[in-house]
Amino acid sequence: MTGQRKTRAKASPKSRSSRAGLQFSVGRVHRLMRNANYADRIGAGASVLLAAVLEYLSAEILELAGNAAKDNKKIIIMPRHLQLAIRNDEKLNKLLEGVTIAQGGVPMPTDPPAPAPLF
């Protein structure tokens, strides 16, 4: 029995997404950042942070859109519900003010229309 060592079981590979507790793929975000030529080198933490921010924003928009769909008595989130969710939230509206959502419809007016002047 001399000369024999017990070998440890090799740990199964764990993705960076699961290490960070994210649903969005950190590896994919890192690859997209590299291929987009934002910089010569991309730090390992940068892709984790960007994936976390993207996941948070997506979850926030989907939650608000789900509430808008429920308010309209629908079970499927449509582009109109995304539009309503974004335009009714002050911070999201400011972030996405230049974005046009296809099939989103016209945003709901926040102020009532002024009465027409009588001539």
Domain assignment present for 81: yes
Which pLDDT value is given to residue 113? 64
Domain assignment present for 77: yes
The residue segments making up the domain with residue 89 are 17-95
Which pLDDT value is given to residue 115? 72
Domain count, the chain: 1
Domain assignment present for 90: yes
Report the distance separating Cα 55 and Cα 59, nearest Å. Answer: 6
Which pLDDT value is given to residue 105? 86
- Cβ burial 35-55 (10 Å sphere, 16+ → b, else e): eeeeeeebeeeebbebbbeeb
Domain assignment present for 32: yes
Domain assignment present for 102: no
Report the distance separating Cα 66 and Cα 73, nearest Å. Answer: 10
Report the distance separating Cα 49 and Cα 84, nearest Å. Answer: 28
Domain assignment present for 117: no
Report the distance separating Cα 98 and Cα 73, nearest Å. Answer: 29
| Proportion of the chain in helix, strand, coil states, percent, rounded to 5 | 50, 0, 50
What is the residue-level pLDDT of the chain in tens, covering all 119 positions?
A: 566 777 788 888 899 999 999 999 999 999 999 999 989 999 999 999 999 999 999 999 999 999 999 999 999 999 999 999 999 999 999 999 999 999 988 876 665 666 777 76
CATH of the domain at 59: 1.10.20.10
Report the distance separating Cα 83 and Cα 55, nearest Å. Answer: 19
pTM reported for the whole predicted model: 0.78
